[in-house]
Amino acid sequence: MQELLGILEGLHPEVDFNTCTNLVDGKILDSFDIVTIVAEVNATFDVAIPAEELIPENFNSAQALWALIERLDEE
Comparing C-alpha atoms, which of 20, 5, 15, 12 is closest to residue 61?
A: 20
Single residue of 49, 65, 68, 69 touching another protein by CB under 8 A: 49
Q: Under a CB-based contact definition with an 8 Å cutoff, are residues 42 and 49 in contact?
A: yes
Q: Which stretch binds another protein (CB under 8 A): 16-24, 25-33, 57-65, 66-74?
A: 25-33
Minimum CB separation from another protein for residue 75, in Å? 9
User: What Rg, from alpha-carbon coordinates, does the chain have?
Assistant: 11
Which CB sits closer to another protein, 19 or 31? 31
Q: For residue 73, which of 45, 53, 52 has the smallest C-alpha distance?
A: 45
Residues that bind another protein (CB under 8 A): 27, 30-32, 34-36, 38-40, 42-43, 48-52, 54-55
